[in-house]
A and B are shown apart, each in its own frame.
Chain A
Amino acid sequence: MNTAILERQAASGGIARRSALILAALAAVAALALFGGARYGFMLAIGLGFGIALEGLRFGFAGPWRAMIVRREPAGILAQLLAIALVSIVAIPAISSHPGELTGAQAPIGFAMVGGAFVFGAAMQVVMGCGSGTLVNAGSGNPIGLLALPFFAIGSFFGAYGLIWWTNLGALPILTLRGTSGLAVTLVLLGLVAATVFFLGKRGSRSLPRRYIIAALVLAALAIANLLVAGQPWGVVYGLGLWVAKGVNGMGFDLTQSAFYAAPGSITRVKESLLTDYTSLTDIGLIAGAFGVAAWRQGGLSQKLPSYPARAWAATIIAGFLLGYSSRLAFGCNVGAFFSGISTGSLHGWVWFAAAFAGAYLGIWLRPRLGLEARA
């Protein structure tokens, strides 16, 4: 009898908690649309969608790369490639037919870009969190993600601060695959990579689980919505650096010593509300959406925090900073460069993928040596 009452109370408590989460999300989106503008409300909703999808479907970028390298399990990477292909089918023709209104994640290939991608690939395996993953991990209560995030943002700020100097070390012109032929080349390249990953994968682990297919479809739909609403593809790192830049500017420091922050567009964005910056909005949505999923799950927030040695926390701080710094040099993280770069036809996305994947081997080797395999 008592057990039945307790179960009923727990169920009603769960319903109340979940109703409150839905209401809070709807109220936040509606308030921003009303007081800021419909586009910003849509972008927050899209960001919440990213966070809910990534945490709810337990999908990401760092984990699947590790699964392929360590256990030769290709399903996660195949799902990533599927999502990128689906976005490219819409994005590349749309950008070609609406130049100006829509822009891709197009950036130059250069020495600093390649080096940055390699370092990012290593650092994301150290903390087991990429650009989107670190935000999702922080929102869902992962202590490593929570500690890495502020240093990720600080690194992003300093990376942007010196970006022009790094890019001047040597870079090619921006190389882009455009129109129908560009889309065809992108799809063929994605198919070749998928086939390579498939055949290198272990037998019995090559098929895509339903969860990954749903994740790929949802991520693709949200990424396309991001492009059509904001006029630019899904990104993560710019917003984090902007948060720190606003703080630094607010404390009275002169940002115009940096060629990046002295640019008129940067000055405007530092002064405007971060709720009008598209990457900030999707970043906020990623954290809040992941929090919502963790709070929604029965017992999602009641897991005991794992124990790590001091060197693991120190490594997290350093890797977090490197994630931010290197991703600015690399013109994006796994989202801005790999996912959005390739899906909008930028060749730097492909170079980023190769360099970051090579860096992932180093990160996987480093992770246990830095004490980041949890004790309990």
Chain B
Amino acid sequence: MTRKATAFTALAALLLLIGADLIGAPLNPYQAPPAFAFGSGQVASGGFCGALPN
């Protein structure tokens, strides 16, 4: 067996994850934030491993 099998397994798993997620939580471009946080005037609210939850 070569790395082809494992690399394609990783990619397939990733696509499966994204596909399953999109079914349960579809995207909505009308709720999209400004393209750049810098200069947007909005408070950053993304999840981050260094942050305790609000």
Contact = CB atoms under 8 A, between A and B. Distances in A.
A125 B32 CA distance: 40
B45 to A, nearest CB: 7
A333 B26 contact: no
Given A141-B10, A243-B17, A36 B45 contact: no
A228 B44 CA distance: 10
Contact of A332 (B18, B38, B41, B49): B49
A60 interface: no
Contacts of B3: 140-142, 294, 300-303, 305
A42 B35 contact: yes
A230 B46 contact: yes
A288 B14 contact: yes
B36 to A, nearest CB: 6
A327 B24 CA distance: 28
Nearest to A275: B27
A141 B4 contact: yes
Interface in A157-173: 163-164, 167
Given A101-B37, A107-B51, A142-B3, A279 B29 contact: no
A304 B1 contact: yes
Contacts of B48: 103, 105, 232-233, 235, 238, 278-279, 336
Contact of A141 (B6, B35, B54): B6
A140 B9 CA distance: 10
A261 B51 CA distance: 13
Determine chain B's interface SS by DSSP, over half rule.
Answer: loop
A263 B54 CA distance: 6
Contacts of B18: 274-275, 284
A236 B27 CA distance: 22
Q: Say which size band chain B's interface belongs to.
A: 35 or more
Contacts of A261: 53
Interface in A277-298: 277-279, 284, 287-288, 291, 294-295
Interface stretch (A2-10, A212-220, A265-273): A265-273
Interface in A243-264: 243, 246, 250, 259-261, 263-264
B14 to A, nearest CB: 6
Given A102-B44, A250-B24, A287-B14, A228 B6 contact: no
A38 B33 CA distance: 8
Nearest to B14: A287
A279 B48 CA distance: 7
Contact of A102 (B35, B37, B49): B37
Of B3, B38, B50, most buried by chain A (CB within 10 Å of CB) is B50
Contacts of B43: 100-101
Contacts of A34: 29
Contacts of A259: 53
B2 A305 contact: yes
11 contacts: A101-B43, A106-B50, A106-B51, A233-B48, A275-B18, A275-B22, A277-B46, A300-B3, A301-B2, A332-B49, A336-B48
Closest 9 CB pairs of A and B: A37-B32, A231-B37, A141-B3, A231-B44, A263-B53, A141-B7, A105-B50, A38-B35, A336-B49
Interface of A: 32, 34-40, 42, 94, 98, 100-108, 138-143, 146, 149, 163-164, 167, 227-233, 235-239, 242-243, 246, 250, 259-261, 263-266, 269, 271-279, 284, 287-288, 291, 294-295, 300-305, 327-328, 331-333, 336-337, 340-341, 346, 348
Given A105-B51, A236-B49, 16 more contacts: A40-B32, A103-B48, A104-B50, A106-B51, A107-B50, A143-B6, A146-B9, A228-B37, A229-B37, A231-B37, A231-B42, A231-B44, A238-B47, A279-B47, A301-B3, A337-B49
